[in-house]
Amino acid sequence: MSLLIKGGEIVTGTEHYIADIYCEHERITHIDRYIEAPAGAEVINASGKYVFPGFIDPHVHIYLPFMGTFSKDTYETASKAALVGGTTTLIEMVCPSREMSAAQGFRLWQEQAAGKSACDYTFHMGVTRFDDENASQLREIVAAGISSFKIFLAYKGAFGIDDAELYQTLKLAKELGVIVTAHCENETLVAERQKELLATGKTGPEQHHESRPPRVEAEGVHHLMTFAELTGAHVYIVHLSCDEALREALAARHRGVNVWIETLIQYLVLDKTDTERPEFEGSKFVMSPPLRDKSNQPVLWNGLSSGEIQTVATDHAPFDFKTQKPMGRDDFTKIPNGIPSLEDRVNLLYTHGVKAGRLDLHTFVNVASTNAAKTFGLFPRKGAIQIGADADLVIYDPEYRGTISAKTQTMNVDYSAFEGWEIEGRPSVVTVRGEVAVREGKFVGTIGRGKLLAREATHS
Ligand code: URP
Ligand code: ZN
Ligand code: ZN
């Protein structure tokens, strides 16, 4: 099967031009001003539309046993939602419990995805315990093509590791050329502040951000930076939410620490007042690090446009409002953490970034696709429009106008944090290695077509 995309405005991280793209055997094989349609090729008219490289979400949770429950999506529902929203590659966090070995965790997460994903995917391997057994299993997992780790400096007693484990994990990563992605919050401060708030009867969702103020995150970043500096490991801060944490990361970068920074679409468009909504509605907006004061948003947007921040992810972690968020009705520390947004990231970033004049189109492509591909060993197979690249393409209609609603979303969760929000633009066609997976907002792809992507360890 071959595909010819005609007359679209191709936009990559560096280029912008009108041309036809021909795709065969899953890859882009020809790009030219005019390409005659070969017999049997499907032809898609993309005139008046952008053609972007498939977007990459470098931080999602699909299978997530967490806080006494499980996140709602499966690979089937999540990959469909990703594709409808223009995301063609997912990087999921493997989060084994501390009782599980690394090999058991890796196997379990692979089983969730195998044969069930409609888009390509890979994993960041969670290191939730470091010992000799896990270290040798981690070596094998890296050799199998998983070239990034995930660590948590939060979630005491669950996924969090102690400082000795942190040091050993970073040393192993440095040796193997693996980049370490890290959730940065000081878990002791969080636990102590949670206790204090609850003891004074402060139990509602609006207390969540009081328990984890910006300095708690900044301290986590500072802590990671110290360990990265002393080990020489390459590190990637996930879900950076605020100015104070950004300053710590930039100060470290200026003194030579190899650090990449991710923010989330949620922090760019939502803020802590959302957790104050009445009738427990605020619980829909509980995630960690928490939504911040609005004054942080221009800092994050500027960080993206200046290149200080490399990626915009979702940290997609869907928990139902009706049945799961109420686990913390009388105690905010028990509200399952997460704000689903896998389907909405690209359209919100386009609407509030590009259309609002905060990001140019190249930066948009870089932060939503190409930078993640480069950082995590997927470029130029992914994140690029060039001959030989996988034919993962998003034909994007900038004239589309629509409204986000839980009633029409593909994600398997009963609410939207962006209910009623208008979007200006959406993917009209999305391809996965040359096969059309979305037409006019509807999934038409193939469950099971998605492959586990093997990646080289390049961070030595
Ligand atoms: O609140 C969040 N972020 N939930 C998902 C788990 C994590 O910390 O990434
Ligand atoms: Zn996290
Ligand atoms: Zn996460």
pLDDT digits (tens, 9 = 90+) for 179-227: 999 999 999 999 999 999 999 999 999 999 999 999 999 999 999 999 9
Q: Is the pLDDT of residue 346 over 90?
A: yes
Among positive and negative, which fits the CA dihedral 260, 264, 270, 274? negative
Q: List, as ranges, residues with CB under 5 A of the ion ligand 3.
A: 315
Ligand nearest to the CA of 184: 2
pLDDT range class, residue 157, cuts 50, 70, 90: confident
Q: Is the pLDDT of residue 434 over 90?
A: yes
With a CB cutoff of 8 Å and minimum separation 6, the contacts of 355 are 424, 425
pLDDT for residue 277 = 98
Q: Is 285 exposed, middle or buried (0-12, 13-18, 19+ CB in 10 A)?
A: buried
pLDDT range class, residue 379, cuts 50, 70, 90: very high
Tell me if 184 CB under 6 Å of ligand 1.
no
pLDDT for residue 1 = 80
Residue nearest to atom 3 of ligand 1 (CA): 288
Tell me if 455 CB under 6 Å of ligand 1.
no
**Most ligand 1 atoms within 8 A of CB, residue of 59, 60, 61, 185 to mutate:** 61
Distance CA 406, CA 408 (A): 5
State the average pLDDT over residues 234-247.
98
Q: Is the pLDDT of residue 457 over 90?
A: yes
Ligand nearest to the CA of 313: 3
Higher-confidence residue of 156 and 147: namely 147
Distance CA 271, CA 297 (A): 8
Q: How far is the CA of 368 from the centre of ligand 1 (A)?
A: 19
Residue with tokens 């040091």: 167
Q: How far is the CA of 180 from the centre of ligand 3 (A)?
A: 13
User: Over pLDDT 70: what percentage of the chain?
Assistant: 100
With a CB cutoff of 8 Å and minimum separation 6, the contacts of 25 are 434
Q: How far is the CA of 214 from the centre of ligand 2 (A)?
A: 15
pLDDT-wise least confident of 156-160, 170-174, 334-338? 156-160
Round the average pLDDT of the chain to a whole number and report it. Answer: 98
Tell me if 183 CB under 6 Å of ligand 1.
yes
Q: How far is the CA of 133 from the centre of ligand 1 (A)?
A: 27
pLDDT range class, residue 156, cuts 50, 70, 90: confident
pLDDT for residue 106 = 98
Nearest ligand 1 atom, CA 286: 1
Q: How far is the CA of 316 from the centre of ligand 2 (A)?
A: 10
Tell me if 315 CB under 6 Å of ligand 1.
yes
Q: Is the pLDDT of residue 168 over 90?
A: yes
pLDDT digits (tens, 9 = 90+) for 89-99: 999 999 999 99
